[in-house]
Structure 1
Amino acid sequence: MASGTRLDASNVRARRPAELKRIEQQRAQETRSAILHAALTEFSSKGFEVASIRSIADRIGMQHPLITYHFRSKEILWQAVAEYVFERVRQERDASLFSLGPARAVDRLKLAYRALFRFTVAFPEFHRFILQESLGSSSRLQWLADAFLKPLIGWLVPQIRAAQQEQALPNVEPIVFHYMLISLTSTLSGFGPEFSATSDLSPSDPALAEDYWRTVEQLVFGALASR
């Protein structure tokens, strides 16, 4: 019996480092997520040049050296934010398309742009984050284009052309159609503060967002657009 007890105690001690490692990894991931969310808000509201590591740390009550421990510089942190948000966009799109199965190109487009719209409603900072770089010419904008925007457009443009061949979309240059939809998907997030100031409605209201997108689908994709 004593021997069995000693073995049990040894097993507990052997498991303890692995458990501690998992806890530390989880805490580190939670810290990184908190930093990324705070940095997204900071960059989207102030722009890269004005934003600071110290201000980002203040947003979450963290010592700024802890941020530089995870992200060595403001540039690296900015890129990490971009990677984080665009990965979320990709996941939202893929999750929507996964449940669709074989379908017409126009149906794939509806789901892809609706996923982007819902993400911008949930994270209005996303649109403002990109807009900050679009206000001027910077190497960061070109990096965004090369790393994320061009691959996204590279997937969407063939879908737009296919939908046009299905006669489900107007015969306009696909990239023009894409940016028209981008304007529509970012309306609530881009004009959110003004929207609230001029009405008693909230652009983050889920019911309002659904009504808005239903209208977009009816106007752009036709009366048979699905909810």
Structure 2
Amino acid sequence: MRRAPEEKQRDPERTKARILQAAVTEFAAKGFAGARVSEIADRAGVNKQLISYYFGGKEGLYRALTSQWQSEESVFADRSTSLGKLAAGYVRASSAYRDFGKLMLWEGLSEAEPDPRFTQEMRRNVEELRKRQEAGEFPADLDPAALLVVLFAAAAAGIAFPQLVRAVFDQDPASPEFAERFATQIERLVDHLRG
């Protein structure tokens, strides 16, 4: 039985999606340096040459994951909302997309120089926080750069400190219940900065 032309066209997209899912799992478990293209291919059930064909190799695959995260981020990161709601959204997203959060932690552990695009994006975020500060969302004596680092750390707390979460919340750090409880508290905490 022959497949319809539109079915054949969807196969590459399904294959790419399987590779990306396998890659995020592998990179989350082992970091960029420890992940192996052959293991990603095995996990995806594809020939490893397809990773080079579709993504140009390991680095291209990693960049594709970064783009995928940015697409996801655009869904939950409504920058027109309050800073508290925005921070809570990142906490919930870190819980829902734990493997992407682990990628960020691995990058931090590598202590490599950050990608210039990442640096530019973070500096834009600091400037956005500075505008929020001028609008009265948080006190003038707080450094927007320090606040950004604190918010990143808070969003990643369930991934970075699972043992702490279990000890003090008595909840699974990967559970939706913890994510919601912690997100609500982070939102309140940040909203209290308004005074």
TM-score interval (norm. to shorter) = 0.7 to 0.9
> What amino acid sits opposite 1:88 in the alignment?
E
Q: Provide the residue aligned with 1:40 in structure 2.
A: 24
Provide structure 2 residue ranges, at least 5 long, that are not aligned to the other structure: none
Provide structure 1 residue ranges, at least 5 long, that are not aligned to the other structure: 1-16, 101-106
Q: In the TM superposition, what whole-angstrom CA distance separates every residue of 1:48-107 from its partner, at most 9, and x where no partner exists?
A: 2221111112223333233333223112112211222123213322xx45xx6xxxxxx4
| 1:207 matched to 2:181 | no
Which has the greater radius of gyration? 1
1:192 Cα deviation from its structure 2 partner: 3.4
1:120 Cα deviation from its structure 2 partner: 1.1
From 52, 76, 80, give the equivalent of 1:92.
76
Q: Tell which deviates more after alignment, 200-209 or 26-35.
A: 200-209
CA distance in 2, matches of 1:196, 1:44: 21
TM-score when normalising by structure 1: 0.71
Show structure 1 runs of 4+ deviating over 6 A.
Answer: none
> What amino acid sits opposite 2:49 in the alignment?
P
CA distance in 1, matches of 2:7, 2:104: 34
CA distance in 2, matches of 1:203, 1:124: 10
CA distance in 1, matches of 2:109, 2:139: 30
Provide the alpha-carbon RMSD of the alignment.
2.9
CA distance in 1, matches of 2:74, 2:176: 21
Q: Provide the residue aligned with 2:192 in structure 1.
A: 222
> What amino acid sits opposite 1:28 in the alignment?
P
From 151, 165, 172, give the equivalent of 1:181.
151
CA distance in 1, matches of 2:72, 2:89: 10
| 1:136 matched to 2:110 | yes
1:196 Cα deviation from its structure 2 partner: 5.2
CA contact (8 A) 1:124 1:190 kept: no
Choose between structure 1 and 2 for higher RCO, CA contacts under 8 A separated by at least 6 residues: 2
Number of equivalenced pairs: 192
> What amino acid sits opposite 1:39 in the alignment?
A
